[in-house]
C-alpha cells in the first residue's frame, strides 16, 4: 500500500498536548496520513480503564504543527474504541500509542494507559504498537524512541503481525544504541506510599515506591534497557496461565 493511502491512528496516555505524542506524530507522518485521537488530559497509569458511567465527548482542534486532532474526555482505551466505532471515516491501517514519558517495561506494562491503547487497537483487529521513553523528563531527547518506532512500523508493514499480538517498545532518551526483542521482566514496586498528615490533622498517602526487579532471565525488557538498548516485546491479552492450566485443570475443586 502506498504511504499516501495509509491511515494511522495516534493515541497516548499523557494527553494530546504532551510532547511525546508530537514525537510519535512526526514518525507516523513518514508512513501515512495521521489521525490523532487522544485524551484531553494526563491519563497515566489508568491501565485498561474504560468509561461506562459517563458520556464521552470528542472535540476537534488544530495542533501546533497544523495537524487536526481530536481530544476525548476519556481514557486511552476509550479513545481507540471511540475512534474505531464513531470518529474515523475508515478503518486505520495501524494504531500507535505514545511516546510515553516514562518506562512501560516490566510490571509497569500492567498499569500503563499507553500500552492499553495499543492493546485495544489489537482487540479491535488493527496492528498496534506502544512506544515509551524510559526518561520522565518532559524535554527528553526522543530521537532514539522515534527510530525504534520507525523500525517497528516498517517491520509491521513488511511482515504483518500475528493475530492478537501487540508490540510494546521502550527505549532510553538519546540516540538508539540498538533494538532487541525482549520478554516482560517480572518486577514489582516496594515501599509504595508515603504517609502524611494534612493541616487538619488527617492522614493521607502519596504513591511513591521503588521499582524492584524479581527476574533474572535472559532477553528481559528491564535488563536490555539497563544496558542502554531499546526493547521490543510482543505482548498479548489472553491472561490464561497456560503453563499451569494442564496440571491445575486435573485437580479436584
Tell me the closest approach of the beta carbon of residue 239 to a copy of itself, in angstroms: 4
Number of residues that bind a copy of itself (CB under 8 A): 74
Q: Which of 4, 62, 66, 86 binds a copy of itself (CB under 8 A)?
A: 86
Q: Which is nearer to a copy of itself, 98 or 183 (CB)?
A: 183
Nearest C-alpha neighbor of 33 from the set 97, 114, 90:
90
Which residues, 6 or more positions from 23, have their beta carbon under 8 angstroms from its beta carbon? 99, 142, 145, 146
Instruction: Identify residues 149-188 at the interface with a copy of itself (CB under 8 A).
Output: 151-152, 155, 159, 162, 164-165, 168, 179, 181, 183-184, 186, 188
Instruction: Identify residues 218-237 at the interface with a copy of itself (CB under 8 A).
Output: 219, 232-237
Using the structure block, give the residue that is written with the C-alpha cell 499523557: 14
Tell me the closest approach of the beta carbon of residue 222 to a copy of itself, in angstroms: 12
Q: Which stretch binds a copy of itself (CB under 8 A): 21-29, 88-96, 116-124, 138-146?
A: 116-124
Instruction: Identify residues 64-83 at the interface with a copy of itself (CB under 8 A).
Output: 77, 81-82
Q: Which is nearer to a copy of itself, 1 or 244 (CB)?
A: 244
Q: Which of 30, 138, 192, 227 binds a copy of itself (CB under 8 A)?
A: 192
Taking only Cα atoms into account, the Rg of the chain, rounded to an integer number of angstroms, comes to 19
The conformation of residue 3, written as its DSSP 8-state character, comes to G
DSSP 120-136: HHHHTT--EEEEEES--
Taking the CB of residue 175, how many other CB atoms lie within 10 A of it? Answer: 10
**Dihedral Cα 100, 144, 221, 77, nearest 10 deg:** 30
Amino acid at each position: 500500500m502506498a504511504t499516501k493511502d495509509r491511515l494511522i491512528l495516534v493515541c497516548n496516555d499523557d494527553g494530546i498536548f504532551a510532547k511525546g505524542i508530537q514525537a510519535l506524530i512526526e514518525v507516523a507522518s513518514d508512513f501515512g496520513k495521521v489521525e490523532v485521537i487522544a485524551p484531553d488530559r494526563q491519563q497515566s497509569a489508568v491501565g485498561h480503564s474504560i468509561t461506562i458511567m459517563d458520556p464521552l465527548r470528542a472535540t476537534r482542534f488544530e495542533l501546533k504543527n497544523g495537524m487536526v486532532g481530536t481530544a476525548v474526555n476519556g481514557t486511552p482505551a476509550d479513545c481507540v474504541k471511540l475512534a474505531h466505532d464513531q470518529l474515523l471515516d475508515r478503518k486505520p491501517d495501524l494504531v500507535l500509542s505514545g511516546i510515553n514519558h516514562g518506562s512501560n517495561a516490566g510490571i509497569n506494562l500492567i498499569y500503563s494507559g499507553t500500552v492499553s491503547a495499543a492493546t485495544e487497537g489489537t482487540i479491535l483487529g488493527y496492528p498496534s504498537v506502544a512506544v515509551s521513553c524510559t526518561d520522565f523528563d518532559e524535554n527528553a531527547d526522543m530521537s532514539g524512541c522515534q527510530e525504534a518506532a520507525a523500525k517497528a512500523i516498517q517491520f509491521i508493514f513488511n511482515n504483518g503481525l500475528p493475530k492478537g499480538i501487540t508490540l510494546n517498545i521502550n527505549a532510553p532518551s538519546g540516540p538508539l544504541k540498538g533494538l532487541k526483542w525482549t520478554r516482560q521482566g517480572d518486577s514489582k514496586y516496594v515501599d509504595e506510599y508515603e504517609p502524611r498528615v494534612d493541616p487538619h490533622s488527617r492522614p493521607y498517602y502519596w504513591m511513591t515506591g521503588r521499582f524492584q526487579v524479581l527476574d533474572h532471565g535472559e532477553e528481559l525488557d528491564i535488563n536490555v534497557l539497563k544496558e542502554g538498548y531499546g526493547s521490543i516485546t510482543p505482548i498479548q491479552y489472553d491472561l490464561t496461565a497456560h503453563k499451569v492450566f494442564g496440571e491445575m485443570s486435573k485437580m479436584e475443586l
